[in-house]
């Protein structure tokens, strides 16, 4: 895979340095059959250093995961070697089935078929709380 040139796929750019691996895991990219490149510590004028992920497949990903890990990310969609879409990802207002509540008294620990939802309560400090029990999201 040529990491510079993708014909059809996604380039997840402006990940804060060190955040790439976390996104790689949370998106389950290790399970993909296509080529995936995680490029770490790329020099960046804006950010000093950043991580980039390139996925050689035109697929849908959970943008909330990206926003949660690193809120200034951009996602570029490439088709036939051209960028057809560029999305700036902000901090998501809600995280659904991304994190699991660690409060042992929370109803999510026993209720079957429940969606794990966290809501953003403080954008500045990036604090999420469980929708059900208000426990702080695990770090």
Partner 1 sequence: MRHLIDVMDLSVGEIEELIALATDIQAHPEDYREVCRYRKLATLFFEPSTRTRLSFEAAMLDLGGSTLGFSEASSSSASKGESVSDTVAVVGGYADIIAMRHPQEGAPLVAAMRSSVPVINAGDGGHNHPTQTLTDLFTVYRKKGGFSGLTVGLCGDLKFGRTVHSLIAAMSRYAGVRFVLISPVELRLPDYVREQYLDATGVAYSEVTSLDAAIGSLDILYMTRVQRERFFSEEEYLRLRDCYILTPEKLREARADLSVLHPLPRVNEIATAVDDDPRACYFEQARLGKFIRMALIMKLLGVSK
Give residues in contact with partner 1 (CB under 8 A).
103, 105-114, 121, 130-136
Site for Zn ion in 84-103 (CB under 5 A): 101, 103
Residue 63 touches Zn ion, criterion: CB under 5 A: no
CA distance 116 to 109: 10
Q: Least separation, in Å, of the C-beta of 102 and partner 1?
A: 12
Q: Residue 107 binds which one of partner 1, Zn ion, none, with CB within 5 to 8 A depending on kind?
A: partner 1
Question: In Å, how far are 50, 73, 84, 101, 123 from 40, measured between CA atoms?
Answer: 7, 14, 24, 30, 26
CA distance 80 to 96: 33
CA distance 130 to 108: 9
Residue 130 touches Zn ion, criterion: CB under 5 A: yes
Nearer to Zn ion, 34 or 100 (CB): 100
Question: In Å, how far are 46, 61, 75, 133 from 72, measured between CA atoms?
Answer: 11, 16, 10, 29
Q: Least separation, in Å, of the C-beta of 111 and partner 1?
A: 5
Contact set with Zn ion (CB under 5 A): 101, 103, 106, 130, 132-133, 135
């Amino acid at each position: 895979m040529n990491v510079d040139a993708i014909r059809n796929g996604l380039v997840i750019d402006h990940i804060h340095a060190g955040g790439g691996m976390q996104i790689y895991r949370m998106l389950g990219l290790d399970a993909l059959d296509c080529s995936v490149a995680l490029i770490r510590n790329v020099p960046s004028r804006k950010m000093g250093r950043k991580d980039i992920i390139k996925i050689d497949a035109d697929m849908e990903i959970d943008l909330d995961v990206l926003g949660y890990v690193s809120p200034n990310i951009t996602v570029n969609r490439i088709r036939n070697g051209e960028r057809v879409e560029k999305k700036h990802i902000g901090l998501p207002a809600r995280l659904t089935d991304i994190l699991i509540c660690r409060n042992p008294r929370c109803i999510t620990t026993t209720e079957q078929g429940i969606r794990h939802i966290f809501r953003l309560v403080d954008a500045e400090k990036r604090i999420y709380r469980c929708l059900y029990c208000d426990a702080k999201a695990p770090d």
